[in-house]
Amino acid sequence: MTDPIRVLILCTGNSARSQMAEGLLRQLGGDCFEVASAGVSPTSVRSEAIAAMHEIGIDISTQHSKSVDEFVEREFDYVITVCDNANELCPVFPGHTQRIHWSFEDPALAQGDESDRLAVFRRVRDEIGARLREFVVETANHQ
């Protein structure tokens, strides 16, 4: 068995996009991936992100926001930034890390009532999931 592909997913607060991406990639990639997420200014995991993921059978309720500083000494095969701010502030990682940037809307900025906000989290979750499905297929083909 080959070593798992190490992936770090970054956003600003590590509260929604990167948390959902971490949960999705864990499910989509299984044992082939070792996944972590972090933020350049970590806060806490948004309840709407937990709810949106729960709807598709993925539990991220035990995940917590982490600082990118916790990971700068570790080697990753891929560092994926999921917001423009994290892309601009992302530190350099050791080794042969491949950087990938995907810009997704910040669902934490959604306005309206709970139903309206949750709809934005669902849409962003699905957009992230689509990108990650492509990533898993492409990455598996290059291993």
Active-site residues, by number, are 11, 83, 90
Residue 37 pairs in a beta bridge with 9
Amino acid at 79: V
CA–CA dist 80, 84 (Å, integer):
11
